[in-house]
């Protein structure tokens, strides 16, 4: 598994501030559920695969695993559905200054995460384990 950064909602403000100060745009992102393997129930997958688990009422997509954690990309919601939560931000217009674009993508990302309200929508045992993986781009077009 690649090393990628993900943050809980409560920890995102410094990331957003850094993006603005360092002129880094946010291209989009996705939401993950990151669970400690020791906290996983016996019927939760702990190896990267897609499985159907009737107890969780949906497919569960395990994106990756470290020695201590698993990362789910598809996860169950309280309403009985399952899903994932990816997003993309607006494209830069040709006349838009780079700094204005950076600020717009940061504000849009904040709005998407707030309105998505994933922590309240996932099943209760996952609500404290929601992380946001962000994709970034510099003015020179390099992304990370």
Look up the pTM and report it. Answer: 0.88
pLDDT digits (tens, 9 = 90+) for 68-78: 999 999 888 99
Q: Give the length of the chain.
A: 144
Confidence of residue 111 (pLDDT cuts 50, 70, 90): very high
> Which DSSP category does 6 fall into?
E
The overall longest dimension of the chain from CA atoms, in Å, is: 54
Query: Could you tell me which residues come within 8 angstroms of residue 121 by beta carbon, excluding any fewer than 6 positions away?
Result: 77, 78, 79
The pLDDT assigned to 124 comes to 95
The pLDDT assigned to 57 comes to 45
């Amino acid at each position: 598994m690649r090393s990628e950064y993900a943050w809980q909602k409560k920890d995102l403000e410094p990331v957003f501030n850094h993006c603005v100060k360092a002129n880094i745009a946010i291209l989009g992102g996705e939401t993950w559920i990151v669970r400690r393997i020791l906290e996983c129930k016996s019927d939760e997958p702990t190896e990267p695969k897609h499985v159907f688990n009737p107890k969780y009422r949906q497919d569960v997509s395990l994106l990756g695993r470290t020695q201590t954690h698993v990362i789910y990309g598809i996860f169950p919601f309280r309403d009985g559905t399952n899903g994932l939560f990816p997003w993309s931000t607006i494209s830069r217009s040709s006349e838009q200054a780079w700094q204005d674009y950076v600020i717009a993508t940061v504000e849009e990302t904040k709005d998407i995460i707030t309105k998505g309200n994933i922590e309240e929508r996932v099943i209760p045992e996952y609500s404290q384990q929601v992380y946001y993986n962000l994709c970034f781009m510099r003015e020179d077009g390099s992304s990370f």
